[in-house]
Structure 1
């Protein structure tokens, strides 16, 4: 689940920016992806009149996110697309610790990332479809002062929950061709320390032939267990990897922003991201 104010993958936002109107609040969305036996996707874009927010609460249309007593409570009232099935229910995110850590992803500092809660207990209770789940999860945030595709060519990101800490890897290639290897390890108390980038590993390409890369211990292996989301420019995958002496499952994403900004991709996006009339 991703809450967007200024939906970075919105074709409508890209069109308006080209016309000189880049107001982020006019392009908001709550993205919900369900995998497994019940696969549903929702990412309806809404305008500024549908956005309400303060320091502890964000409402985007009928859905909302609120901090209450240290717990992030998410109320979901969305419809999937293109087949209009309801997605209704709630998610509660119980952070183990809040890091307060922020990193700039580019040399100019235009794009920032915060691994707010690298480890959290997540409770999912959906009424439509009827799903109940609880387990380990993750919460982060991104903000920026320009389009992603203007600063980056691609990136690969990976989160690995280990016994007593969480490892996060970011490999970023800038629009200027410069590469940055960012590694963090976060203890259960939220303290953050650097993680020297391990050995690079090439993963199999997706069905859309999207390249994927990660990093693991020297002499170790990393493999794709399941590709959850496969699009022309973005893939989300479950890996099995070896890092810091432990074999563990990992969440991984690959993003190709050259493909994202290609005219053929932009022409396809409205079929996955509808825009609400009100």
Structure 2
């Protein structure tokens, strides 16, 4: 929630800390401690702890480009999550996941658009990664994870577009013939990005999971990029004595 300078970063083999917030791996749980200020229009303190307990860990890596400049890493595609934030109603537990993206080039250099979705299934979870690259090629990948974290590239029905976001970002995901995906919860809406809970049907199973759509043509626009400086606070550092 805050961009900070290099001096605010501290790492150990088990801990990643940026300013007052950190992630720590205990060997069983990922403990995420948050102490931040939210962005406009509602400016408030976001403080508390999130605990992610994986059902299983994976060693899977999916190259998103042919030369490996971008990689998706699903560390724990199926997990239990417990949220304990210091605000009324911000305490709950449920089904979660933990993943990350790594890259050596800016996303907008290599992609024009992508969608991603992770849907819990009766056997584990299915992750969908579809993208349009700048060179005109596409990424069309579905990976099924079982309860033990084993990954299998699997077939999935074709892409199907559904209702655009509030900012009119195009959205699509996989859906069986005759089924229209539907947003059931809005999580984040921006001029170039949408994150929401989406219900669809994949290979006969009705699933509800987290979905994102990212329009990198919009993101690269000189009219939109400066908005990030307004939305995300910036602090040069974080004093060592406050750790």
Give TM class, smaller chain: over 0.9
Q: Pick one of 138, 144, 150 that aligns with 1:179.
A: 138
- Quote the residue 1:54 is aligned against: 12
**Which segment is superposed worse, 212-221 or 132-141?**
212-221
Contact 1:86 1:129 in 2 (8 A): no
Q: Pick one of 252, 256, 265 that aligns with 2:224.
A: 265
Residue correspondence of structure 1 range 185-264 to structure 2 within 5 A = 185-264=144-223
Question: 1:130 Cα shift?
Answer: 5.7
How many residues are treated as equivalent by the alignment?
Answer: 236
SS at match of 1:266: coil
Residue correspondence of structure 1 range 39-118 to structure 2 within 5 A = 43-82=1-40, 83-118=42-77
SS at match of 2:108: helix
SS at match of 1:264: coil
Q: Pick one of 82, 85, 93 that aligns with 1:134.
A: 93
Residues 29-73 of structure 1: per-residue CA shift (max 9 Å, x gap): xxxxxxxxxxxxxx1100001000122100100011000132100
- Inter-CA distance 226–131: structure 2 relative to 1 (3 Å threshold): closer
TM-score by length of 2: 0.93
Structure 1: distance between partners of 2:168 and 2:27: 44
Unaligned runs of 5+ in 1: 1-42
CA RMSD of aligned residues (A): 1.3
Unaligned runs of 5+ in 2: 238-243
Residue correspondence of structure 1 range 157-176 to structure 2 within 5 A = 157-176=116-135
Structure 1: distance between partners of 2:171 and 2:179: 17
- Inter-CA distance 129–60: structure 2 relative to 1 (3 Å threshold): farther
TM-score by length of 1: 0.82
Tell me: higher relative CO, structure 1 or 2? Use CA pairs within 8 A at least 6 residues apart.
2
Residues 146-205 of structure 1: per-residue CA shift (max 9 Å, x gap): 111111111000111011120110101101111110110000001000112312211111
Structure 2: distance between partners of 1:204 and 1:221: 9
Structure 2: distance between partners of 1:144 and 1:158: 19
- Quote the residue 2:240 is aligned against: none
**Which segment is superposed worse, 112-121 or 122-131?**
122-131
- Quote the residue 1:36 is aligned against: none
